[in-house]
Amino acid sequence: MTIEKTVTDWIAATARPVRADTADGPLTDLEPLRDAARGTAVTALATATRGAHELFVLQHRILRFLVEEQGYRTLALEEDWTTGLRLDAYARTGRDDPAAALRDAWPPWRTAEMLDALRWIRAFNERHPGDPVRIIGLDFGATRATGYDTVVEHVRRAAPGRPPTSPASSPRCGPPARSTSTSRTTGRSRTNGR
């Protein structure tokens, strides 16, 4: 038996069809995920490509399944921390325009499907005010100047006798040096301040 046949046979035996036409509706086709996610604290979703409608819809459906059926309450995005704060504020309070918040996000998140997912999270939070879904940006390598400003302001409030230091002037806590590389492990081009 060839390796190709072994892989093909395994896929045929274990693959399950899933819907990716709309994020609404029943989630019964995702039921096999229940055992895979049981007892986990973190579940990561990845894609082979960015921007495909069907993949965004499937990820939204998986998010719904993890939140509604498994009790997950945090969506961590590959995104700047400050943009994550803005998206989280919308999800918790409904303030701000989610489309405007997405305009500042990493380009692959600027989609109608992502906007739909944010609106679903907001609606979920309205129905469950004591148990909300939170959003966090985890791409600390892409932190914008506003992120550093937020930290400096926090230090001013929390330790008023301590003079805040600008991260840009501190050799130990400043932003990373600009990379001249056109790609990193995520396979995308990025510089400080995107």
Give the tens place of pLDDT for each residue, 66-87. Answer: 999 999 999 999 998 889 999 9
Q: How much of the chain exceeds pLDDT 90, in percent?
A: 51
Residue 182 lies in a domain: no
Has residue 118 been placed in a domain? yes
Distance CA 118, CA 127 (A): 14
The pLDDT > 70 percentage for the chain reads 84
Residue 81, in any domain of the structure: yes
Confidence class for position 166, pLDDT limits 50, 70, 90: low
CATH code of 98's domain: 3.30.1870.10
Residue span of the structural domain in which 79 resides: 54-161
- Confidence at residue 143, expressed as pLDDT on a 0 to 100 scale: 77
| Residue 25 confidence (pLDDT) above 80 | yes
Q: Would you state the pLDDT for residue 191?
A: 32
134 beta partners: 74
Lowest mean pLDDT among 115-119, 126-130, 131-135, 172-176: 172-176
- Tally the domains of the chain: 1
Question: Quick check: is 110 in a domain?
Answer: yes
Residue 173 domain flag: no
Whether 19 maps to a domain, the answer reads no
How would residue 167 be classed by pLDDT, with cut points 50, 70 and 90? low
Residue 168's pLDDT is: 53
Residue 99 lies in a domain: yes
- Give the residue-averaged pLDDT of 103-111: 90
Q: Which residue has the higher pLDDT, 133 or 80?
A: 133
pLDDT exceeds 80 at position 174:
no
Other residues' Cβ atoms within 10 Å of the Cβ of residue 63: 20
* Number of C-beta neighbours around residue 24 at 10 A: 12
DSSP 170: -
Helix (H) or strand (E) holding 74: strand 74-77
Mean pLDDT throughout 31-47?
88
SS3 43: coil
Q: Tell me what pLDDT residue 160 has.
A: 86
Residue 111 domain flag: yes
Average pLDDT over residues 33-62: 88
